[in-house]
């Protein structure tokens, strides 16, 4: 192995191990949250009741709930075993973040900056330390993004398949990821159409069918949960003209308040906005 490559991997590995240790520490020490308790209660239902949303509570992120049920059966019901699948999901998240960075640029410093932006966000890392579906879905999303990049660069049908597949699994971990999955399908379809429709129509047809079948299966699995959520008015659409007041300013205020560097700015935003 090239000495420079070996050095780069040591840096990345060091960052990954450090962050993974911090996630484990938080998963062990953080008290059980209200939402986690609700998720644990759902996990005691039967598998069919979980996947069919018999009790339509928003805390049932289906794949996460199923893995939680498995953890309780194997390891017992304790705070760390309840969170262990999300803790472990950080590993593929980190590995594929590194792979994306190395695929996008060969410059080590730029790779390190990109990886840092992805894996050193405190709000994001919290998701890997709790028994909710967000950590799982983000991990599957980053894997999906990696294969989408490979497909756009190399045009291999297998990469499109894996990108859509992992995106779909991410949706089943947390339905919020539909905001990623639907545009992903549109982007990959558009790229495949431009690249293959005239010159490689058979390849285009195969790729379209792969994405369609995965999406159809996801839709079939999600039909009952979505029906239950719609019937119980769980979809709330915020005003489109209040983005600044409802979302952006509260987020910036919270970020400033928890940041020791900008604590003063946080109080300023809190009192004036």
Q: Does 268 score more than 70 pLDDT?
A: no
Query: How deeply is 46 buried, as exposed, middle or buried, from its count of CB atoms within 10 A (0-12, 13-18, 19+)?
Result: exposed
Cα 21 from Cα 12, distance rounded (Å): 14
Predicted confidence at residue 272, as pLDDT, reads: 41
**Per-residue pLDDT at 250 exceeds 50:** yes
What crossing angle do the helices spanning 178-196 and 133-154 adopt, rounded to 10°? 10
Q: d(Cα 49, Cα 222) in Å, to the nearest integer? A: 13
- Summarised one tens digit per residue, pLDDT across range 91-147 is 999 999 999 999 998 888 899 888 988 888 888 889 999 999 999 999 999 999 999
| Other residues' Cβ atoms within 10 Å of the Cβ of residue 237 | 5
- Averaged pLDDT score across all residues of the chain: 85
Mean pLDDT of 215-233: 88
CB 15 within 8 A of CB 115: yes
pLDDT of residue 264: 44
pLDDT of residue 147: 97
Q: What pLDDT was estimated at residue 1?
A: 44
Q: How far apart are CA 232 and CA 150, in angstroms?
A: 40
Tracing tokens 């990696």 back to the chain, one arrives at 146
Q: For residue 241, name the pLDDT band (cuts at 50, 70, 90).
A: low
Cα–Cα distance between 222 and 233 in angstroms, integer? 16
> Which distant-in-sequence residues (6+ apart) come within 8 Å of 86 by Cβ?
27, 64, 127, 128, 129, 130, 131, 132, 135, 136
Which tens digit of pLDDT belongs to each residue from 136-190? 999 999 999 999 999 999 989 999 999 999 999 999 999 999 999 999 999 999 9
Question: What pLDDT was estimated at residue 4?
Answer: 56
Predicted confidence band of residue 198 (pLDDT cuts 50, 70, 90) = confident
């Amino acid at each position: 192995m090239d000495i420079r490559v070996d050095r780069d991997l040591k840096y990345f590995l060091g960052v990954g191990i450090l962050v993974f240790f911090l996630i484990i520490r938080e998963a062990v020490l953080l008290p059980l949250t209200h939402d986690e308790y609700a998720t644990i209660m759902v996990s005691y239902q039967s598998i069919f009741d979980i996947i069919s949303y018999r009790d339509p509570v928003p805390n049932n992120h289906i794949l996460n709930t199923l893995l939680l049920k498995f953890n309780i059966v194997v390891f017992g019901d304790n705070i760390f075993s309840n969170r262990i699948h999300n803790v472990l999901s950080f590993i593929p998240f980190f590995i594929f973040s590194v792979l994306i960075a190395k695929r996008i640029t060969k410059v080590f410093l730029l790779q390190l900056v990109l990886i840092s932006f992805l894996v050193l966000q405190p709000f994001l890392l919290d998701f890997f330390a709790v028994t909710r579906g967000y950590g799982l879905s983000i991990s599957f999303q980053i894997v999906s993004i990696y294969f989408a990049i490979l497909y756009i660069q190399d045009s291999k049908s297998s990469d499109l398949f894996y990108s859509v597949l992992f995106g779909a699994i991410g949706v089943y971990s947390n339905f919020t990821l539909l905001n990623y999955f639907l545009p992903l399908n549109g982007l990959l379809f558009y790229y495949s159409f431009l690249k293959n429709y005239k010159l490689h129509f058979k390849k285009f047809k195969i790729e379209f069918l792969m994405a369609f079948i995965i999406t159809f299966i996801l839709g079939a699995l999600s039909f009952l949960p979505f029906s239950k959520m719609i019937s119980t008015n769980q979809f709330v659409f915020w005003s489109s003209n209040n983005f600044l007041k409802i979302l952006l300013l509260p987020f910036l205020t919270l970020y400033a308040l928890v940041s020791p560097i900008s604590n003063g700015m946080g109080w300023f935003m809190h009192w004036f906005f």
